[in-house]
Amino acid sequence: MKLYFTVVDILSATKFSEGINRLGFHAEFEPQYGRFAFEEQEDLIDELEMALTNICDEYNVNGYFEAEC
């Protein structure tokens, strides 16, 4: 399952990238969509989204999540 986080601007992308790198998360950035793609097991998606939401709050990142099965 994939979890996507789409950023609203380049500053948010930079801040989000810094935050996930600091915590050891890995994501592929898809510049054509302006989003980060996280591959995760379905039963862990909620925990991942919660951790990423904390990064967004801490770094004042603007964006939204989408999940794809």
Side chain identity, residue 45? I
Contact indicator for 28, 22 with CB cutoff of 8 Å: no
Which pLDDT does position 23 carry in this prediction? 92
Q: Calculate helix-pair angle for 10-22, 45-59, nearest 10 degrees.
A: 120
- Mean pLDDT in residue range 39-57: 95
Q: Which domain holds residue 43?
A: 7-62
Which pLDDT does position 69 carry in this prediction? 80
Determine the number of helices (DSSP H) and then strands (DSSP E) in the chain. 2, 4
- Mean pLDDT in residue range 34-62: 95
Look at residue 24 and tell me if it is in a domain. yes
Look at residue 30 and tell me if it is in a domain. yes
| Number of domains making up the chain | 1
